[in-house]
Amino acid sequence: MPLHLEGVGHRYGAVEALAGIDLDIADGETVALIGPSGCGKSTLLGIAGGLLQPTTGRVTVSGEPPAGSLNPFTYVFQDFALLPWRSVADNVGLPLEHRPLSAAERRERIDAALTLTGLTEFAAAYPKQLSGGMRQRVGIARALVVRPAVLLLDEPLSALDAQTRELLMEDLLAIWAKEPCTRVYVTHNLEEAARLADRVVVLSRRPGRIRDVLSIEVPVAERGAPRHAGLLREVHDRLWSMIRDEVVTADREVRDV
Ligand SMILES: Nc1ncnc2c1ncn2[C@@H]1O[C@H](COP(=O)(O)OP(=O)(O)OP(=O)(O)O)[C@@H](O)[C@H]1O
Ligand SMILES: [Mg+2]
């Protein structure tokens, strides 16, 4: 489902977090949001999915959610946000509770989400028995179980080590090839942006404004090919040159405590 942000701004009291964000996201597109710490990325993601009301501007969607969608917007968070006392299958099924579904439909949806994320044999396990990578797969499965129109991911791989992150990037690409939703992906990691996004939106320091938008022409499904290694490096370097000065300034800032 296409998503349109017009003149979006946000304030937390005296803190101006975002200003003047105009962005159209096409159906099925993956847009990465990058920018220095505290520039308003999570705020923008919250506004895009309706968790937060913008102080100014508006967010609209056009078109219809996919068939069988129970919820147009779902989130995947950095800290997985799993319920430790529930099994994997019961965590994944959480968003289906209080929905008018038959037991068979519920089962079918949970099974499909577990299959998509490679968790079938872990259905009865508990979160504490799983690695970080597996826990985040549960977080992803729980988001997909409602068949969202727009998937909002807030640094989903940031809590994972570099090798697990590689594996999860491969998984995400495989999932995206099968699940036709629109995606907004917040990350600090420029490699993730270069590998996973069709476009990368670079935000300025707070209040976050759009500084640049970089389109990556090679389809995401082909980016893993060795012949594109140079392209990924080039995208990474361009993104870094776009944000480096802002990151240096943010790093040297003395904060109010
Ligand atoms: N509930 C809140 N109340 C007051 N200020 C807030 C609140 N949430 C966020 N902020 C402030 O708004 C600004 C933007 O926050 P936000 O979390 O959106 O940034 P971010 O880009 O996601 O940061 P990070 O890279 O650290 O995740 C920050 O300065 C933050 O301290
Ligand atoms: Mg954030």
8 A C-beta contact, residue 86 and residue 138 = no
* Ligand 1 binding pocket mutation candidate from 11, 39, 201, 209 (most atoms within 8 A of CB): 39
What are the structural domains, with CATH classification, of the chain? 3-66+150-251 (3.40.50.300), 84-148 (no CATH)
What pLDDT, on the 0 to 100 scale, is given for residue 75? 96
Tokens of 41: 């990325």
Ranges in the chain, pLDDT < 50: none
Q: What is the pLDDT of residue 224?
A: 85
Residue nearest to atom 25 of ligand 1 (CA): 37
Tell me: the pLDDT tens digits for 185-215? 999 999 999 999 999 999 999 999 999 999 9
What is the pLDDT at residue 249? 82
For ligand 1, atom 31, the nearest C-alpha belongs to 38
With a 6 A CB cut-off, is 43 part of the ligand 1 pocket?
Answer: yes
- pLDDT value of position 246: 83
- Asked if residues 158 and 84 have their Cβ atoms less than 8 Å apart, the reply is no
Q: Which pLDDT score, from 0 to 100, does residue 114 have?
A: 97
CA angle 3, 73, 169 (to 5 degrees): 90
* Two tokens, residue 217: 């022409």
Residue 67: per-residue pLDDT: 82
Residue 154 CA to ligand 2 center (angstroms) comes to 7
